[in-house]
A and B are shown apart, each in its own frame.
Chain A
Amino acid sequence: KAGVTQTPRYLIKTRGQQVTLSCSPISGHRSVSWYQQTPGQGLQFLFEYFSETQRNKGNFPGRFSGRQFSNSRSEMNVSTLELGDSALYLCASSLAGTGTEKLFFGSGTQLSVL
């Protein structure tokens, strides 16, 4: 069974631009979560999607948005990039995103904003 796939692996953007990151969950998994990892903050929850609906959202500005498609694939978009958005963005999937299900993470997209 293939794991969680994130593309692209690396991205370099400049301030003010926007970026779209992609995540394909494990086959059969319908919940997709996004996390931002920075050295000083650890992994911070961005949002969680299930059946194309955002069920949960973290404390990030509206510049961060996402969506999920009918095949459970998800995209995350960051508009008007700022230097502080430089981070590793991790996607995780689970079967239904409830209770104590384990999260399965992708390898992440490393975003650098210059």
Chain B
Amino acid sequence: DQQVKQNSPSLSVQEGRISILNCDYTNSMFDYFLWYKKYPAEGPTFLISISSIKDKNEDGRFTVFLNKSAKHLSLHIVPSQPGDSAVYFCAAMDSGGYQKVTFGIGTKLQVIP
């Protein structure tokens, strides 16, 4: 049972345009959400996070939006750059306990120059 769902396995975007990656979750206990980026042959690296008390968090070109009622979050990358081409994992957790992060299956983003 996938508690964190990324329904788009891949996404292609032109350089300079906006990339929007989507994620849905089912577990109401999740109150903290993260995005990780993974390049081939490397481990995932933390990108951005958001607490359930917020609906938006921005860090440079990256913005994460959270819609709690819809149990949906999205990652916006503006403008997209070729170096952003990677697999993006949406992740969620219950911040009250010990770390057990639940990840989605990932979305492969390709930014075309």
A residues at B contact (CB < 8 Å): 4, 31, 33, 35, 39-45, 48, 50, 55-56, 58, 90, 92, 94, 97-108
Contacts and interface: CB of A to CB of B under 8 A. Distances in A.
A103 B103 contact: no
B interface, how many residues as a size bin? Answer: 20 to 34
Contact of A107 (B43, B91, B97): B43
Contacts of A58: 100
B70 interface: no
B26 to A, nearest CB: 15
Nearest to A99: B95
Interface of B: 4, 6, 32, 34, 36, 41-46, 49, 51, 89, 91, 93, 95, 97-106
Contacts of A98: 97-99
A98 B104 CA distance: 21
B105 A33 contact: no
Nearest to B99: A97
B6 to A, nearest CB: 8
B99 A33 contact: yes
A45 B102 contact: yes
A46 to B, nearest CB: 10
Nearest to A98: B98
Contacts of B106: 42
B98 A108 contact: no
8 contacts: A31-B98, A39-B105, A42-B103, A42-B105, A45-B100, A98-B98, A100-B93, A103-B44
A48 to B, nearest CB: 6
Contacts of B51: 100
A37 B98 CA distance: 21
Contacts of B43: 4, 90, 92, 105-108
Nearest to B43: A105
Count chain B CB atoms within 10 A of each CB in A39, A42, A101 and give the residue with the most: A42
